[in-house]
Structure 1
């Protein structure tokens, strides 16, 4: 899996962990996603976000 697909998979898992209130998984995933990428995806307009994911 290339880096971009891996990042997208991690971010999707992060969203699922938040929805399911899985605190330990959330901590683990947050340690794997670079802060810059996390900020970019969280601050992106919804239409842009949907194109990324």
Structure 2
């Protein structure tokens, strides 16, 4: 994960990837999301939400 976060949401997608979105860290509330590929073990930025949550 490229951005440390807590109190985020995570969902398993139909293709097996996991999307992690929102949450907060020491900087504040996050609007970013990341995808985790369970086959490769790699994280990829998935873009930003309009509103941090």
TM-score between both structures, scaled by the size of structure 1:
0.23
Compute the TM-score of the two structures, normalised by the length of structure 2.
0.23
Please identify which structure carries the higher helix content. Answer: 1
- Greater RCO, CA 8 A, separation 6+: 1
* Structure holding more strand per residue: 2
